[in-house]
Structure 1
């Protein structure tokens, strides 16, 4: 693919279950001084009502104009292929940084993501995509990428919590309550923040045994296992992660801001 919607692709910079991300030269209509931008191209064919809902959610995200959130430019549809463009962060993400990222910076990045999630929650938006790959790195800050919107493009294609093309390694970011039919909310994003913090602190997730290529087998393993923070973490670190991933959503942090306060208090 050489481009879409007037954007000319320079190179691919990311790939996931729901699509690809390209570094691109923007069209003149964008008026961003010809700076390169990132364009996410979704792999699912977009139904008309699904695309409208995606645009609505992205507009709500963009309207916050928070320095904790990636700057979105526009969303578009070419044929049945949906895409959105955003500010390009050249240093990658917590999952795939393009420069060295120390432990302190990783923890601070998760704290910023938690405050970004709180801002979304206060605006009535559930992110549903919190994970290291969606925490983007700039020179002196981290920003949270756009909320998960791929599941609204083709209604009925995605299972609760894990897409039909899902990777078992992504499953641990899904609140088990969602897998049991509960609606997404503050509690589900806080779960994902807890898993993300554990990875930032240790370099690995809470479910190392989730290696099956079959999402349904992985889901059964996931629901039967109660994760515990790594024993090598400090008492305070284990307490923050443990509260965020408590099996009872009512026992987790009441807000992502409260979790961010505890993250900021961790020794680094």
Structure 2
């Protein structure tokens, strides 16, 4: 794909939920002082109703003043294909960092993701897709990106609307079973993210690689376990995030605890 609308693509950046990311040159019409932007192109055609919902959600997302959120710039639809552009961070993500991360740097990035979630929650927004690939890195920490638009384009769908099945380990099982996404569900995702980043493993053990349906069955059937190799107090933070929904800490509290740990 060479581009979309007036965006000239330079190279692919990888796949995300229901779409592809590209590095692109900033169109002259965009009033931002950057040369390059990241553009996500949804892989399926979107209806006009879905397009309106997506633009509404992105507008709300961009209105949240937070230094811990990736800035969205623009959104559009061409020949039934939805796309949006955002800030480009060249250091990669927690899923695929451009350079090796120290444990302290990884914890700082997760803490920043928790701060981003807290800022969204304060604005009445649930992210719905907190996972390593959506925590983008920069020299000072991390920024959370890619608001869970998969649900916008599959409204009313639960499991199949959560994006690729190989990422279901980060989704609160209550949501996978049809529950409404709430702030506590994002905190669950932060706990699973923290376990993966700090311990290098899933709270569900070894999930099958490349078999999303089997991974989904494993997640729904298993009880999440905190690895004994995970150091304290990180293990304690993970346990708190995976507790009953009404007893989980706020995202802001998770960020504060992680900041103390990462010092």
Q: Quick check: TM above 0.5? A: yes
Question: Shorter chain as normaliser: what TM range?
Answer: over 0.9
SS in 1 for 2:195: helix
1:263 and 2:255 matched: no
Q: State the aligned residue count.
A: 263
Flag the 1:31–1:173 CA change in 2: closer, same or farther, 3 A.
same
1:236 and 2:233 matched: yes
Asked if the contact 1:175/1:188 (under 8 Å) is kept, the reply is yes
Flag the 1:17–1:34 CA change in 2: closer, same or farther, 3 A.
closer
1:250 and 2:246 matched: yes
Flag the 1:192–1:165 CA change in 2: closer, same or farther, 3 A.
closer
TM-score by structure 2 length? 0.93
SS in 1 for 2:43: strand
**Aligned twin of 1:80:** 80
**Aligned twin of 1:18:** 18
- Could you tell me which of 167, 177, 182 is aligned with 1:180? 177
Flag the 1:192–1:152 CA change in 2: closer, same or farther, 3 A.
same
Kindly state the Cα deviation for residue 160 of structure 1 after the two structures are TM-superposed: 1.1
- Could you tell me which of 142, 164, 176 is aligned with 1:166? 164
Asked if the contact 2:159/2:177 (under 8 Å) is kept, the reply is no
The 2-side partners of 1:225 and 1:101 are apart by: 30
The 2-side partners of 1:219 and 1:206 are apart by: 13
The 2-side partners of 1:258 and 1:101 are apart by: 24
The 1-side partners of 2:73 and 2:207 are apart by: 36
Listed one character per residue, the Cα deviations across residues 215-266 of structure 1 (whole Å, up to 9, x for unaligned) are 44433321221111110122322111011012x212221x100111111222
The 1-side partners of 2:30 and 2:161 are apart by: 32
User: For the aligned residues, what is the CA RMSD?
Assistant: 1.8
**Aligned twin of 2:95:** 95
Kindly state the Cα deviation for residue 180 of structure 1 after the two structures are TM-superposed: 2.5
SS in 1 for 2:233: helix
Asked if the contact 2:208/2:214 (under 8 Å) is kept, the reply is no
Kindly state the Cα deviation for residue 125 of structure 1 after the two structures are TM-superposed: 0.5
- Unpaired segments of 5 or more residues in structure 1? none
1:107 and 2:112 matched: no
The 1-side partners of 2:210 and 2:38 are apart by: 29
SS in 2 for 1:143: strand
The 1-side partners of 2:160 and 2:204 are apart by: 15
The 1-side partners of 2:80 and 2:44 are apart by: 8
Asked if the contact 1:40/1:85 (under 8 Å) is kept, the reply is yes
The 2-side partners of 1:56 and 1:75 are apart by: 10
4+ residue stretches of structure 1 with deviation over 6 A? none
Give 1:44-55 correspondences, 5 Å limit: 44-55=44-55
Kindly state the Cα deviation for residue 150 of structure 1 after the two structures are TM-superposed: 2.4
SS in 2 for 1:128: coil
Flag the 1:33–1:219 CA change in 2: closer, same or farther, 3 A.
closer
The 2-side partners of 1:186 and 1:121 are apart by: 6
**Aligned twin of 1:143:** 143
